[in-house]
Amino acid sequence: MNRALRPLLATTAIFLLAYIAAVLQYPSMLSTRVLGNFLTDNAFLGIAAVGMTFVILSGGIDLSVGAVIGFSTVLIATLIMWAGLHPLIAFAITLAVTAGFGAVMGAAIHYLKVPSFIVTLAGMFLARGGASVLSPDSIGIKHELYTSISRSYILLPGGGRLTVIAMIMLAVFILGIVLAHRTRFGSYVYALGGNETSAALMGVPVARTTILVYTLSSTLAGIAGIVFSLYTSAGYSLSALGVELDAIAAVVIGGTLLTGGYGFVAGTFIGVMLQGLVQTYIVFDGTLSSWWTKIVIGGLLFLFILLQRLVFSAAVPGKKGFGPRKKAFRKS
């Protein structure tokens, strides 16, 4: 068996076991209705997590995605309700703005040689602040397109509904998988995360790739914002608070190495679904309070980081280390 697939298989196995355990307790959880809601409720998180996967694969981190989602919802709402634009034009403007925002962050990270953590932190403040300057209050969106999109879905066997936003998420995941594993850009991202210096020496365009990675992440956060506004039919500056942490957790649970250079977009999908499962289980249980979600997700995060450590320390020493590998200190 390919050793590289081990974390992905472990995540999938844990998800299936957890789902089976949940179904044994509440048989009604095994229905396309629940699965359909899984996809719909976590669509924005999934889309943002695809972008986060690319950023983490390249060895960085993007703390601004939640704020960019919030900013996008407000921008869309103001463009539609105040400026009277058609939603499709509003979507296009939003994507252009978020893509530009990501490109600037990527350029700052590359050219100013500042850790991505700090640049995207500033981006997070800027996007949240910008959103609340646009409108501190929640703006409801009323438009035919919104009502028709929220009404249209594909009926799955068993009464489940595959909504438009769930389909958008699935499409983003498929595109993400193709982009990561079947294109030149994808291999550049992996090379960059493996080792920036050797990637540059091998001829990877480091500046362009870094800028593109953050542009991709912000654009996907913009799409997630569009999906979020379709989901809630509103724009609010404080929406999607802390989604960046959920997205990072999903990526880590999905088996992507936090130091970069190693992981799968498909794993992130399982990571998102596992978080959805925890939330749904807590809703089904009824006696557990919502704060258990945070504790369980924190616990899962810890478990998977530990798992990564174990898998990679069992791997060939010196080949793929998690952090600086210790070398025996020898007196010669």
Partner 1 sequence: MKRQALTSALLRPQFAALAAVLFINWLLFPGFFTITWQDGRLFGSLIDVLNRGAPVAILAIGVTAVIATKGVDLSVGAVMAISGAVAAVMVSTGTPASIAIPVALLAGLVCGFWNGVLVTYLDIQPIIATLVLMVAGRGLAQLITEGSIVTFSDPLLSYIGTGALLGLPMPVVIALVLMIVTTLAVRRTALGLLIEAVGVNRSAARFAGISSRLLLLMVYSFAGFCAAIAGLIVAGDIRGADANNAGLWLELDAILAVVLGGTSLLGGRFSIPMSVVGALIIQAMNTGILISGFSPQFNLVVKSAVIILILVLQSPQAGQWISRRFTPLTPPPKRSAE
- Contact yes or no for 276/46 (Cβ under 8 A): no
Per-residue contact flags (x/-) with partner 1 for residues 204 to 243, judged by CB under 8 A: ---------------------------------x------
- What phi, psi does 114 have (nearest 5°)? -105, 145
Q: Does residue 130 touch partner 1 according to CB under 8 A?
A: yes
Cα separations in angstroms, 310 against 117, 271, 298, 316, 321:
26, 19, 19, 12, 11
**Element of type H or E holding 140:** strand 139-140
26 or 125: CB nearest partner 1: 125
258 or 315: CB nearest partner 1: 258
Instruction: Figure out which of the listed residues 151, 289, 319, 328 binds partner 1, where binding follows CB under 8 A.
Output: 289
∠ CA 283-137-289 to the nearest 5 degrees? Answer: 15
- Among 26-34, 201-209, 276-284, 296-304, which window interacts with partner 1 (CB under 8 A)? 296-304
- Contact yes or no for 254/271 (Cβ under 8 A): yes
Q: Does residue 293 touch partner 1 according to CB under 8 A?
A: yes
Cα separations in angstroms, 153 against 158, 164, 169, 223:
14, 6, 14, 19
Buried b (16+ CB within 10 A) or exposed e, 126-142: bbbebbbebbeeebebe
Locate 179 and state its tokens: 């982009």
Q: Does residue 317 touch partner 1 according to CB under 8 A?
A: no
Instruction: Figure out which of the listed residues 27, 324, 330, 332 binds partner 1, where binding follows CB under 8 A.
Output: 324
Per-residue contact flags (x/-) with partner 1 for residues 56 to 75, judged by CB under 8 A: -----x--------------
- Among 89-97, 210-218, 261-269, 287-295, which window interacts with partner 1 (CB under 8 A)? 287-295
Q: Does residue 330 touch partner 1 according to CB under 8 A?
A: no
Per-residue contact flags (x/-) with partner 1 for residues 236 to 275, judged by CB under 8 A: -x-------x--xx--x-----xx----------------
C-alpha gyration radius of the chain: 20
Q: Does residue 78 touch partner 1 according to CB under 8 A?
A: no
- Beta carbons within 8 Å of 1's beta carbon, 6+ residues apart: none
Give the residues lining the site for partner 1 (CB under 8 A): 61, 108, 111-115, 117-119, 121-126, 128-130, 132-133, 136, 237, 245, 248-249, 252, 258-259, 289-295, 297-299, 301-302, 305-306, 309, 322-324, 326, 329
